[in-house]
Amino acid sequence: MDITTIAGVAIGFYLLFTAILQGGSAKIFIDIPAIMITGGGTLAAVLINYQFTDVIRILKVTAKAFIHKPIAPVKTINLLLEMSKKARRDGFIALEEDLKKVEDKFLRVALRCVVDGSPLDRTQKLLETEVENLELRHSKGIGIFKAGGKFAPAFGLLGTLIGLVQIGRVVNEPSAIVSSIAVAFVSTFYGVILSNLIFLPIAGKLDGLTQEETLEKRLIIEGILSIQSGEPTLVIEDQLIAFLPPEEREKRIKIKMEEEE
């Protein structure tokens, strides 16, 4: 579970409503027409902009922003290096034992290519296609949230314009004026909140997770192709270390130098 996403949303709404309550009742910020204009308009625009199946899948994509398995590149590197040693010692067929133990679906596909003796270029093409499809699927989910972040303020502004038009028509009715003013200002409020506390932050989080997952897949491709090419394990390790964050990379290089001494 990603505590930062949950904490960010919780802190944002807590501080927001605390500030609202400091100025009086929160009821004045609840307006049904404004919700219908801003929320309904944003939803309608997203449905027009994307296919219905893509919008339905967004629930699964949204869950990844709150619940996802942390990526551990060091663990993946160690696993690939063990496979390299085994392959050089016992041959590619010996890696079939690891197929049952590997949890990562992408790594299983890659490992199956090695065990089955798939040509190197075919293995690379298959794995690259998998990564491209992953990026495409994720980009649609991210795009939906970015679209929501773009449409919400626009419909909030539309609600403001509707409220202002209504004020001009009911200028002699004080109660109606108050209602129209509420629609005008609360609509913009909803649009800003939806955009800057929900849609755009989640889009940013999903974009970051996609980059991490893609980098992990690239690491696996590099490792598997190197194993299949028969490169020495030490050479493979040098290649894979480049995928680590700077601090992890320096730590790994230091340990390796100490072992060589």
Residue 244 has pLDDT above 90, yes or no: no
For the ranges 25-29, 42-46, 47-51, 142-146, the lowest mean pLDDT is seen at 25-29
Treating both helix axes as pointing N-terminal to C-terminal, what angle do 105-115 and 73-90 enclose, rounded to 10 degrees? Answer: 10
CB 160 within 8 A of CB 187: yes
Convert the pLDDT of each residue in 152-199 to its tens digit: 999 999 988 888 777 766 656 666 665 667 677 888 999 999 999 999
Residue 137 has pLDDT above 90, yes or no: no
Convert the pLDDT of each residue in 220-231 to its tens digit: 999 999 999 989
CB 199 within 8 A of CB 146: yes
What pLDDT is stored for residue 40 in this prediction? 93
pLDDT, averaged across the chain: 85
CB 156 within 8 A of CB 197: no
Treating both helix axes as pointing N-terminal to C-terminal, what angle do 52-66 and 120-169 enclose, rounded to 10 degrees? Answer: 100
- pTM for this one? 0.82
CB 241 within 8 A of CB 252: yes
